[in-house]
């Protein structure tokens, strides 16, 4: 797989999303799959009430079709798709329950974590048993590897679940999660192609880049559709699949630094509030803090995109 073919893969996924969009959006309107914005969120977001959600289905379809047509269908690709679609299904059930069954919290926490546990366990166990060297993960900025041995599966499950939920928390502004994931996926295209020498993962990542950029056509401010938990959890599943399948999960906190800054801001906010009754951030996740500081939504998204690009280049130094 060369750069030309990977570019074709990106374009294919992009075009599929752009074609699906005008068909899918009216369907979401008819089904009344509209977003309900929290009253305790930024007041500027109240105007978004009723905007169709669950739009992540669009790029999930595009990525899956593109990968099936463009990649050699081996067990790695199958597991990668299971990771993306499995976590996407968890998000879909959460969205569906909230919207159609009028339950504010969607899936119960134990239901959500149980499903995430099963998917992450499957992916981690597959990788652990795929080769004798599978438990060795690369250490960024070095040419050394860390052999996790028998601890590989539980540690990897923790990383997978943490990453997916971090990506989920990043989805809060128009174009934020899709734009950042396009950048992160572009990094993994290059890493899989030039370092890991894994054409399948490179193709999968390229399809994800195309799908995310295609979705941005409908998701940039003012968004015509939101991806919902359906899309954000699917993207989290895709990103972590790239890293697990190339034994490079320690690169995710670097390249996906925005994801983890968002998750860390929530952890810090909740922990500090429970201990002191006070808040460190004006609002969490982090993107809402900057909104509350007076930044327009478009500025927050643009700055976060730029930071994501810088982190991706740092990832190049760390991983190449």
Do residues 93 and 106 lie in contact, with contact meaning Cβ atoms separated by under 8 Å? yes
Q: Which of 159, 186, 320 is nearest to 240 (CA)?
A: 159
**Max Cα-Cα span within the chain:** 56
The reply to whether 219 sits in an annotated binding site is no
**And the tokens for 262?**
């968002």
Supply the angle between the helices 152-170 and 75-100 in degrees, to the nearest 10. Answer: 50
- Rounded to whole angstroms, the Cα distance separating 274 from 263 reads 17
- Rounded to whole angstroms, the Cα distance separating 72 from 31 reads 37
Do residues 263 and 165 lie in contact, with contact meaning Cβ atoms separated by under 8 Å? yes
Instruction: Using alpha carbons only, give the angle 94, 266, 82 rounded to the nearest 5 degrees.
Output: 40
The reply to whether 229 sits in an annotated binding site is yes
223 phi, psi to nearest 5 deg: -65, 135
**And the tokens for 11?**
């374009």
- Rounded to whole angstroms, the Cα distance separating 219 from 227 reads 8
How far CA 230 is from CA of 97, 141, 153, 195, in Å, comes to 12, 34, 25, 31
How far CA 186 is from CA of 28, 72, 183, 199, 277, in Å, comes to 30, 20, 5, 14, 41
**Residues tagged in the binding site annotation for Mg(2+):** 168, 229
Please report, in range form, the residues annotated as the binding site.
168, 229
């Amino acid at each position: 797989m060369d750069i030309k073919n990977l570019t074709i893969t990106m374009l294919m996924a992009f075009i599929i999303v752009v074609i699906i969009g005008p068909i899918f959006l009216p369907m979401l309107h008819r089904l009344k799959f509209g977003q309900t914005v929290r009253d305790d969120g930024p007041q500027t977001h109240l105007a978004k009430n009723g905007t169709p959600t669950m739009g992540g289905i669009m790029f999930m379809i595009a990525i899956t079709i593109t990968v099936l047509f463009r990649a050699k269908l081996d067990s790695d690709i199958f597991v990668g798709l299971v990771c993306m679609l499995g976590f996407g299904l968890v998000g879909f059930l959460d969205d569906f329950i909230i919207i159609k069954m009028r339950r504010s919290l969607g899936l119960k926490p134990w239901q959500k974590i149980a499903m995430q546990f099963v998917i992450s366990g499957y992916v981690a166990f597959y990788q652990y048993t795929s080769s004798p060297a599978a438990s060795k993960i690369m250490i960024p900025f070095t040419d050394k590897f860390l052999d996790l041995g028998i601890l590989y599966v539980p540690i990897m499950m923790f990383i997978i679940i943490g990453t997916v939920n971090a990506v989920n928390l990043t989805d809060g502004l128009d174009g934020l999660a899709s734009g950042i994931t396009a950048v992160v996926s572009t990094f993994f295209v290059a890493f899989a192609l030039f370092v890991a020498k894994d054409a399948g993962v490179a193709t999968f990542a390229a399809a994800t880049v195309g799908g995310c950029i295609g979705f941005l056509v409908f998701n940039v401010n003012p968004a015509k559709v939101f991806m919902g938990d359906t899309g954000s959890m699917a993207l989290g599943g895709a990103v972590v699949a790239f890293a697990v399948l190339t034994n490079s999960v320690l690169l995710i906190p670097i390249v996906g630094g925005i994801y983890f800054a968002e998750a860390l801001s929530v952890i810090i906010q909740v922990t500090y509030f429970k201990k002191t009754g006070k808040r460190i951030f004006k609002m969490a996740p982090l993107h809402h803090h900057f909104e509350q500081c007076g930044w327009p939504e478009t500025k927050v998204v643009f700055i976060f995109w730029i930071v994501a690009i810088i982190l991706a280049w740092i990832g190049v130094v760390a991983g190449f």
